[in-house]
Protein backbone atom coordinates (compact mmCIF):
# COMPACT_ATOMS: atom_id res chain seq x y z
CA UNK A 1 0.00 0.00 0.00
CA UNK A 2 1.62 3.27 -1.12
CA UNK A 3 0.31 5.69 1.50
CA UNK A 4 1.23 5.41 5.19
CA UNK A 5 0.51 7.55 8.20
CA UNK A 6 2.60 7.44 11.40
CA UNK A 7 -0.18 6.13 13.59
CA UNK A 8 -0.86 3.09 15.68
CA UNK A 9 -4.17 1.27 15.88
CA UNK A 10 -4.69 2.56 19.41
CA UNK A 11 -4.61 6.15 18.09
CA UNK A 12 -7.76 5.63 16.04
CA UNK A 13 -10.21 5.21 18.89
CA UNK A 14 -13.09 2.74 18.83
CA UNK A 15 -14.36 1.58 15.43
CA UNK A 16 -17.61 2.96 14.07
CA UNK A 17 -18.51 -0.47 12.71
CA UNK A 18 -17.08 -3.97 12.40
CA UNK A 19 -17.72 -6.33 9.48
CA UNK A 20 -16.45 -9.69 8.25
CA UNK A 21 -13.43 -8.25 6.47
CA UNK A 22 -12.70 -4.88 8.10
CA UNK A 23 -13.29 -2.28 10.78
CA UNK A 24 -14.42 1.26 10.01
CA UNK A 25 -12.72 4.17 11.85
CA UNK A 26 -13.14 7.93 11.73
CA UNK A 27 -10.16 9.41 9.86
CA UNK A 28 -11.21 13.06 9.79
CA UNK A 29 -14.39 15.09 9.39
CA UNK A 30 -14.73 14.13 5.74
CA UNK A 31 -13.27 10.62 5.56
CA UNK A 32 -13.37 7.20 7.20
CA UNK A 33 -10.76 4.47 7.15
CA UNK A 34 -11.81 0.97 6.19
CA UNK A 35 -9.04 -1.03 7.89
CA UNK A 36 -8.95 -4.64 6.77
CA UNK A 37 -8.18 -7.55 9.05
CA UNK A 38 -4.71 -9.12 8.62
CA UNK A 39 -6.10 -12.24 6.89
CA UNK A 40 -7.50 -10.16 4.01
CA UNK A 41 -4.95 -10.24 1.19
CA UNK A 42 -3.58 -7.16 -0.53
CA UNK A 43 -5.01 -8.41 -3.81
CA UNK A 44 -8.52 -8.47 -2.30
CA UNK A 45 -8.04 -4.95 -0.95
CA UNK A 46 -6.77 -3.70 -4.31
CA UNK A 47 -9.84 -5.31 -5.90
CA UNK A 48 -12.20 -3.43 -3.58
CA UNK A 49 -10.31 -0.19 -4.20
CA UNK A 50 -10.52 -0.65 -7.98
CA UNK A 51 -14.19 -1.65 -7.85
CA UNK A 52 -15.14 1.31 -5.66
CA UNK A 53 -13.34 3.70 -8.00
CA UNK A 54 -15.01 2.06 -11.01
CA UNK A 55 -18.41 2.42 -9.32
CA UNK A 56 -17.81 6.11 -8.69
CA UNK A 57 -16.69 6.65 -12.30
CA UNK A 58 -19.90 4.98 -13.48
CA UNK A 59 -21.90 7.50 -11.41
CA UNK A 60 -23.14 4.75 -9.12
CA UNK A 61 -24.22 5.68 -5.57
CA UNK A 62 -20.85 4.78 -4.04
CA UNK A 63 -18.44 6.57 -1.71
CA UNK A 64 -15.31 7.97 -3.35
CA UNK A 65 -11.84 6.64 -2.49
CA UNK A 66 -9.06 8.90 -1.22
CA UNK A 67 -6.01 6.67 -1.16
CA UNK A 68 -4.63 3.92 1.03
CA UNK A 69 -3.11 3.61 4.49
CA UNK A 70 -1.09 1.03 6.40
CA UNK A 71 -1.32 0.92 10.21
CA UNK A 72 0.30 -1.71 12.42
CA UNK A 73 0.78 -3.95 9.41
CA UNK A 74 -2.88 -3.72 8.41
CA UNK A 75 -3.97 -2.21 5.11
CA UNK A 76 -6.89 0.11 4.58
CA UNK A 77 -8.57 2.48 2.16
CA UNK A 78 -9.86 5.99 2.82
CA UNK A 79 -13.45 6.68 1.82
CA UNK A 80 -15.96 9.51 1.95
CA UNK A 81 -17.53 9.76 5.38
CA UNK A 82 -21.25 9.21 4.83
CA UNK A 83 -23.14 10.64 7.78
CA UNK A 84 -26.18 8.44 7.98
CA UNK A 85 -27.56 5.10 9.10
CA UNK A 86 -27.93 1.76 7.38
CA UNK A 87 -31.23 0.85 5.77
CA UNK A 88 -31.52 -1.81 8.49
CA UNK A 89 -31.42 0.87 11.19
CA UNK A 90 -33.92 3.18 9.48
CA UNK A 91 -37.00 1.70 11.23
CA UNK A 92 -35.30 2.29 14.61
CA UNK A 93 -35.46 6.03 13.87
CA UNK A 94 -38.80 6.00 12.06
CA UNK A 95 -40.91 2.94 12.91
CA UNK A 96 -43.30 3.32 9.98
CA UNK A 97 -40.37 3.01 7.57
CA UNK A 98 -40.08 -0.71 8.40
CA UNK A 99 -42.87 -1.52 5.96
CA UNK A 100 -41.25 0.59 3.23
CA UNK A 101 -37.81 -1.00 3.68
CA UNK A 102 -38.29 -3.79 1.08
CA UNK A 103 -39.43 -1.24 -1.50
CA UNK A 104 -36.44 1.02 -0.80
CA UNK A 105 -34.13 -1.97 -1.21
CA UNK A 106 -35.64 -2.86 -4.58
CA UNK A 107 -35.68 0.73 -5.81
CA UNK A 108 -31.99 1.30 -5.05
CA UNK A 109 -31.13 -2.01 -6.70
CA UNK A 110 -33.10 -1.16 -9.83
CA UNK A 111 -31.43 2.24 -10.09
CA UNK A 112 -28.03 0.58 -9.78
CA UNK A 113 -28.92 -1.85 -12.56
CA UNK A 114 -29.67 1.00 -14.96
CA UNK A 115 -25.97 1.89 -15.00
CA UNK A 116 -23.26 0.35 -17.14
CA UNK A 117 -19.92 -0.26 -15.45
CA UNK A 118 -17.17 -1.01 -17.99
CA UNK A 119 -14.48 -0.85 -15.31
CA UNK A 120 -15.82 -3.89 -13.46
CA UNK A 121 -14.92 -7.52 -14.17
CA UNK A 122 -17.29 -9.70 -16.20
CA UNK A 123 -19.49 -11.66 -13.79
CA UNK A 124 -19.03 -14.97 -15.59
CA UNK A 125 -15.24 -14.60 -15.54
CA UNK A 126 -15.36 -13.73 -11.83
CA UNK A 127 -17.33 -16.90 -11.10
CA UNK A 128 -15.05 -19.04 -13.27
CA UNK A 129 -12.00 -17.75 -11.39
CA UNK A 130 -13.40 -19.17 -8.14
CA UNK A 131 -13.08 -22.72 -9.50
CA UNK A 132 -9.37 -22.59 -8.65
CA UNK A 133 -10.04 -21.63 -5.03
CA UNK A 134 -9.22 -24.21 -2.31
CA UNK A 135 -12.82 -24.08 -1.09
CA UNK A 136 -13.96 -25.57 -4.42
CA UNK A 137 -11.32 -28.31 -4.53
CA UNK A 138 -14.06 -30.88 -3.79
CA UNK A 139 -15.21 -30.56 -7.41
CA UNK A 140 -13.81 -33.04 -9.92
CA UNK A 141 -12.17 -31.98 -13.18
CA UNK A 142 -15.25 -33.15 -15.09
CA UNK A 143 -17.60 -31.20 -12.81
CA UNK A 144 -15.52 -28.05 -13.23
CA UNK A 145 -15.57 -28.47 -17.01
CA UNK A 146 -19.36 -28.81 -16.98
CA UNK A 147 -19.58 -25.67 -14.84
CA UNK A 148 -17.33 -23.77 -17.26
CA UNK A 149 -19.51 -24.85 -20.14
CA UNK A 150 -22.63 -23.75 -18.27
CA UNK A 151 -21.09 -20.34 -17.57
CA UNK A 152 -20.15 -19.92 -21.23
CA UNK A 153 -23.81 -20.34 -22.21
CA UNK A 154 -25.06 -17.64 -19.85
CA UNK A 155 -25.90 -14.25 -21.37
CA UNK A 156 -23.34 -11.46 -21.25
CA UNK A 157 -24.35 -8.16 -19.70
CA UNK A 158 -22.88 -4.73 -19.07
CA UNK A 159 -24.86 -3.58 -16.02
CA UNK A 160 -23.34 -2.85 -12.62
CA UNK A 161 -23.76 -5.77 -10.20
CA UNK A 162 -22.98 -5.31 -6.51
CA UNK A 163 -23.14 -8.98 -5.44
CA UNK A 164 -23.40 -8.24 -1.73
CA UNK A 165 -26.55 -6.16 -1.86
CA UNK A 166 -28.53 -6.20 1.38
CA UNK A 167 -29.98 -3.54 3.74
CA UNK A 168 -26.85 -3.24 5.87
CA UNK A 169 -24.83 -2.19 2.82
CA UNK A 170 -27.08 0.78 2.05
CA UNK A 171 -26.47 3.99 4.00
CA UNK A 172 -29.34 6.46 4.24
CA UNK A 173 -28.03 10.03 4.46
CA UNK A 174 -30.91 12.47 4.22
CA UNK A 175 -32.45 12.02 0.78
CA UNK A 176 -29.44 10.03 -0.47
CA UNK A 177 -28.95 6.28 -0.35
CA UNK A 178 -25.29 5.28 -0.73
CA UNK A 179 -24.21 1.71 -1.43
CA UNK A 180 -21.04 0.49 0.31
CA UNK A 181 -18.75 -2.59 0.16
CA UNK A 182 -17.94 -3.08 -3.53
CA UNK A 183 -15.27 -5.78 -3.15
CA UNK A 184 -17.20 -8.39 -5.15
CA UNK A 185 -18.83 -6.07 -7.70
CA UNK A 186 -18.90 -7.04 -11.37
CA UNK A 187 -20.68 -6.25 -14.61
CA UNK A 188 -23.31 -8.49 -16.12
CA UNK A 189 -27.01 -9.30 -16.18
CA UNK A 190 -29.13 -7.79 -13.35
CA UNK A 191 -30.86 -11.13 -12.70
CA UNK A 192 -27.54 -12.48 -11.38
CA UNK A 193 -27.36 -9.71 -8.78
CA UNK A 194 -30.99 -10.19 -7.76
CA UNK A 195 -30.36 -13.93 -7.40
CA UNK A 196 -27.47 -13.15 -5.07
CA UNK A 197 -29.65 -10.91 -2.91
CA UNK A 198 -32.22 -13.72 -2.74
CA UNK A 199 -29.47 -15.97 -1.40
CA UNK A 200 -28.42 -13.38 1.18
CA UNK A 201 -31.96 -12.86 2.45
CA UNK A 202 -33.00 -16.51 2.39
CA UNK A 203 -29.99 -18.80 2.73
CA UNK A 204 -27.00 -16.89 4.14
CA UNK A 205 -25.71 -17.42 7.66
CA UNK A 206 -27.29 -15.22 10.28
CA UNK A 207 -25.29 -13.81 13.18
CA UNK A 208 -23.34 -16.71 14.74
CA UNK A 209 -24.04 -17.58 18.36
CA UNK A 210 -27.41 -15.84 18.67
CA UNK A 211 -30.22 -17.33 20.74
CA UNK A 212 -33.03 -19.38 19.23
CA UNK A 213 -35.49 -16.55 19.88
CA UNK A 214 -33.30 -13.96 18.16
CA UNK A 215 -32.69 -16.32 15.28
CA UNK A 216 -36.46 -16.73 14.81
CA UNK A 217 -36.91 -12.96 14.93
CA UNK A 218 -34.20 -12.20 12.37
CA UNK A 219 -35.40 -14.99 10.08
CA UNK A 220 -38.92 -13.57 10.21
CA UNK A 221 -37.71 -10.06 9.43
CA UNK A 222 -35.55 -11.05 6.49
CA UNK A 223 -38.33 -13.25 5.03
CA UNK A 224 -40.57 -10.18 5.16
CA UNK A 225 -37.92 -8.06 3.46
CA UNK A 226 -37.27 -10.70 0.79
CA UNK A 227 -40.95 -11.10 -0.04
CA UNK A 228 -41.49 -7.36 -0.47
CA UNK A 229 -38.20 -6.82 -2.30
CA UNK A 230 -38.89 -9.58 -4.81
CA UNK A 231 -42.49 -8.55 -5.33
CA UNK A 232 -41.47 -4.99 -6.18
CA UNK A 233 -38.39 -5.83 -8.26
CA UNK A 234 -40.04 -8.54 -10.35
CA UNK A 235 -43.16 -6.45 -10.95
CA UNK A 236 -41.25 -3.40 -12.15
CA UNK A 237 -38.44 -5.15 -14.04
CA UNK A 238 -40.37 -7.84 -15.88
CA UNK A 239 -38.07 -10.56 -14.53
CA UNK A 240 -39.43 -13.88 -13.25
CA UNK A 241 -38.25 -16.38 -10.64
CA UNK A 242 -37.24 -18.62 -13.55
CA UNK A 243 -34.90 -15.85 -14.77
CA UNK A 244 -33.25 -15.78 -11.34
CA UNK A 245 -32.95 -19.56 -11.07
CA UNK A 246 -30.63 -19.61 -14.11
CA UNK A 247 -28.07 -17.80 -11.94
CA UNK A 248 -28.42 -19.97 -8.83
CA UNK A 249 -25.35 -22.12 -9.56
CA UNK A 250 -23.03 -19.15 -10.21
CA UNK A 251 -24.28 -17.49 -7.02
CA UNK A 252 -23.51 -20.59 -4.95
CA UNK A 253 -20.04 -20.89 -6.48
CA UNK A 254 -19.27 -17.24 -5.82
CA UNK A 255 -20.48 -17.44 -2.23
CA UNK A 256 -18.35 -20.48 -1.41
CA UNK A 257 -15.37 -19.42 -3.51
CA UNK A 258 -15.03 -15.87 -2.18
CA UNK A 259 -16.59 -15.86 1.29
CA UNK A 260 -16.07 -19.48 2.34
CA UNK A 261 -18.01 -19.06 5.59
CA UNK A 262 -17.47 -22.17 7.70
CA UNK A 263 -21.09 -22.64 8.79
CA UNK A 264 -22.30 -22.42 5.17
CA UNK A 265 -19.80 -24.76 3.53
CA UNK A 266 -21.62 -28.07 3.89
CA UNK A 267 -24.91 -26.72 2.55
CA UNK A 268 -23.23 -24.85 -0.29
CA UNK A 269 -21.29 -27.92 -1.42
CA UNK A 270 -24.47 -29.97 -1.47
CA UNK A 271 -26.43 -27.33 -3.38
CA UNK A 272 -23.61 -26.86 -5.91
CA UNK A 273 -23.42 -30.58 -6.65
CA UNK A 274 -27.19 -30.68 -7.13
CA UNK A 275 -27.10 -27.80 -9.62
CA UNK A 276 -24.23 -28.95 -11.86
CA UNK A 277 -25.70 -29.95 -15.24
CA UNK A 278 -25.61 -33.67 -15.98
CA UNK A 279 -23.75 -35.04 -18.97
CA UNK A 280 -22.37 -32.93 -21.78
CA UNK A 281 -23.91 -29.62 -22.77
CA UNK A 282 -23.84 -28.25 -26.29
CA UNK A 283 -22.79 -24.64 -26.78
In degrees, rounded to 5, the angle at the alpha carbon of residue 50 between the alpha carbons of residues 48 and 53 is 105
Contact 170, 97 (CB under 8 A): no
| Cα(38)–Cα(48) distance, integer angstroms | 15
Q: Domain 85-275 adopts which CATH fold?
A: Aminoglycoside 3'-phosphotransferase; Chain: A, domain 2 (3.90.1200)
Per-residue model confidence as pLDDT tens digits over 201-257 = 999 987 666 777 878 888 899 999 999 999 999 999 999 999 999 999 999 999 999
Under the banding of pLDDT at 50, 70 and 90, the label for residue 5 is low
| Cα(40)–Cα(49) distance, integer angstroms | 13
What predicted TM-score, i.e. pTM, was given to this entire model? 0.91
Q: Domain 9-80 adopts which CATH fold?
A: Phosphorylase Kinase; domain 1 (3.30.200)
Helix (H) or strand (E) holding 160: strand 159-161
pLDDT at 282: 47
Phi-psi region of 200 (alpha: psi -120 to 50; beta: other; left: phi over 0): alpha
User: What are the residue ranges spanned by the domains of the chain?
Assistant: 9-80, 85-275
Beta carbons within 8 Å of 16's beta carbon, 6+ residues apart: 24, 25, 26, 32
pLDDT at 247: 99
Amino acid sequence: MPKTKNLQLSDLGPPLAVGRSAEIYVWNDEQVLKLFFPEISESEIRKELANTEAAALAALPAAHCHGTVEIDGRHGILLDRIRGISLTQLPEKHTKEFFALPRYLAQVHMELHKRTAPGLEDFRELVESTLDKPSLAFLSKDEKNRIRNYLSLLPQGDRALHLDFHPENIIVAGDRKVVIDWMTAARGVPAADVAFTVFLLRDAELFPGISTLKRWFYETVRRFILKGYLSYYLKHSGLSMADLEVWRLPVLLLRLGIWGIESERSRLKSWILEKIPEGEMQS
